[in-house]
A and B are shown apart, each in its own frame.
Chain A
Amino acid sequence: MSRLLEINHLKKYFPIRGGLLNRKVTDFRAVDDVSFTLQEGKTLGLVGESGSGKTTVGKCILRLLEPTSGQILYDGQDITHIKAHELRRLRGEIQMIYQAPAASLNGRMTVGQIIGEPLWIHEKLRGDAARDRVLELMTVVGLKEEHYYRYPHEFSGGQQQRIGIARALAVQPRLIVLDEPTSALDVSVQAQILNLLQDLQDQFDLTYLFISHDLGVVRYMCDEVALLYLGKIVEVAKTEVIFEEPKHPYTQALISAIPEPDPDLQREEIIIRGDLSHAFPQGGCPFAPRCHAEKLASCDSVLPPLLEAEQQHLVACHLHPPLSASSASEPA
């Protein structure tokens, strides 16, 4: 299995301007040193609260935002600084599906035009050939033929999301960045869309980067999960591992906060204090002010690096020493 996507030390800072001359005062660190890899055919979940930087990561991968620094490798090729005409070819391989289906569809175009537009841009397909492809795509995502000449506002949220999915599939991408694809939908419709996404993945051999704040959905959809907190990855592991043995205190709190529809479920409820705040002590762990776990002296002063605490389980927490260090000290 090959690495389709590799992100190395990705940073995206937004300037904060102020003062008399509106000069740059400081940076807002939306994404701060994020690294992960995505295997072909797999689904990686990128999870975090609002403001954690998960959408910014997604947009940087498509180069909808220019990364401040770092490296994005797609299929072995560095795409961090490629030029516009190469970028256009690349966008045929990487597509994005957005959160608000209504806002991401042009209300003045018919469904046929919306799905047909990428075919014209990328493959110069027009007329009957394009029409046939569009109708085929519409069947694939579960839309009917008679929807071809309708406008997006005539559809329900779930149907609109299907249009968005068909548009993304039109150019036969290999990687799709899904940015909260179901958070605007009702559960019964969400289940339909999630199943559709899984079917499409099997059918077309797609690789997903699944951005979501809903851990229940992530557990269902993803092979691997990376948790973001204030622009930094705090934990990465296989989905089962994350949900069975979360190591980072933030992950533990987040999992205990999932509202499970089971009134008998007895579990320790960890409620973390306060809310997401960028005002954490400089140099320390960003989660330290809200952390419920045992506090070490280094929490406030040293930024915990993301290290392998167990095989294929990376954690950025001082409470979990890296594998090499702990195994080295044990035999003694």
Chain B
Amino acid sequence: MLMADLLNIEDLHLEFHTYDGVAKVLAGVDLRMQRGDVLGLVGETGCGKSMTALSVPRLIPMPPGKITQGRVTFAGEDILSKSESEMETFRASHLGMIFQDPVTNLNPLFTIREQLVDSVLYQQARGQKVPGRWKGFMPSVRQLRAEAHERAVELMRLTGIPDGDKRIFEYPHQFSGGMRQRVLIAMALAGDPDLLIADEPTTALDVTIQAQILRLIRSLVKQLGLTVLLITHNLGVVARSCERVAVMYSGRVVEESPVRELFKNPKHPYTRGLINAVPQKDVSRGGLIGIPGMIPNLIDPPAGCRFHPRCEQVMDVCRRQVPGATPVGAEHKASCFLYPEDA
């Protein structure tokens, strides 16, 4: 391979120990990202897309969570074997994260300035990205904060918040939903991350604001050369903003492909079902096809392929064995027995 993977998740198994039993949340997730990739991770509620993403910064509480198998490497470094303090440095210097709900992720008692400056200072201190001229002697707190303030205003300008130098003194409640999400993006960018993990960044927003935020993310990818892992349940969002897509179902990636290929030529029955379930332009009344049944119970998942109870093309082998990822086209992989490995 020419380029080394920035992120490589291999055969990741994650379990949660609950009173009802052991929930097998992830059952062998494989995911690779290269620098500059914009990868969409799609799936329904409970398919493990957020858990996959959270296992990169290791933000899953353990216990009750437990990684039983698999490896996560970031630029060649093994993440799962790092100590907690190494993790803090790693998160500050390499990762940025934005979440679904911009309301709960900002503290209502502090101004935007306090929160943004704090994250800039933290990421600098932890990520040891203190500007060169400060090396060798301790700068005064006042100087550091003044510099961090400059940086914070700069970040607000970068994320498209008008009048950043004035609005930085305001409180979160004075910002609208879209503006708050921009503040969170600014925070995530404070440490110059290599990878931005965006977990349903536009789900709580109106469509017009969603379009603004997606455009912002696209322009940041161009400007800063970010690598983005975009988690969403909305196929339309993926079609608009990603280059590659991985579709997850019940703890596994079932199909992975470039965006255009996935929508033009979906291979896995689940992916097809998902695309058909979206009300599109030329679907007339009664023409919408849902996927029958419900997502499986994770404590007692179906044997073999976890999609088989809902699948229309189910075969005998599906009930017994778990399909592996097979290439079905250029850079296109699907985990389904419909596509035998030797074909």
Contact = CB atoms under 8 A, between A and B. Distances in A.
B278 interface: yes
A60 interface: no
Interface in A184-234: 186-192, 194-195, 198, 213, 215-217, 219-221
Interface in A65-95: none
A218 to B, nearest CB: 9
A254 B209 CA distance: 10
Contacts of A271: 208, 211-212, 215
Interface stretch (A109-117, A143-151, A258-266, A322-330): A258-266
Interface in B272-324: 273-281, 283, 285-286, 288-292, 294-295
Interface string B206-241: 111111101100000000000000000111111110
What 5 A-B pairs are tightest by C-beta distance, nearest first? Answer: A259-B236, A191-B290, A220-B279, A188-B291, A192-B290
Interface of B: 44-45, 176-179, 206-212, 214-215, 233-240, 259-260, 263-264, 273-281, 283, 285-286, 288-292, 294-295
Contacts of B294: 156, 158-159, 189
Given A158-B294, A187-B44, A275 B285 contact: no
B233 A187 contact: yes
A186 B273 CA distance: 12
Contact of B280 (A50, A213, A262): A262
A108 B93 CA distance: 49
Contacts of B292: 192
B37 to A, nearest CB: 16
A49 B212 CA distance: 14
B263 A216 contact: no
Given A50-B206, A187-B233, A261 B286 contact: no
A53 B91 CA distance: 42
Given A156-B294, A269-B211, A271-B212, A188 B277 contact: yes
A265 to B, nearest CB: 8
A257 interface: yes
Given A186-B44, A191-B277, A257 B211 contact: yes
A216 B278 contact: yes
Given A254-B208, A259-B239, A261-B235, A198 B44 contact: no
A140 interface: no
12 contacts: A156-B295, A188-B274, A188-B277, A191-B276, A192-B291, A257-B211, A259-B214, A260-B236, A261-B236, A265-B239, A269-B215, A275-B179
A49 B176 CA distance: 13
B281 A260 contact: yes
A258 B283 contact: no
Contacts of A50: 206
Contacts of B259: 263
Nearest to B179: A275
A262 B176 contact: no
Contacts of A262: 239, 263, 280
A16 interface: no
A275 B182 CA distance: 13
Given A188-B277, A271-B212, A275-B176, A261 B207 contact: no
A186 B233 contact: yes
A275 B178 contact: yes
Contact of A195 (B207, B238, B290): B290
A212 to B, nearest CB: 11
A100 interface: no
A157 B95 CA distance: 33
Contact of B279 (A49, A159, A219): A219
B233 A49 contact: no
B242 to A, nearest CB: 9
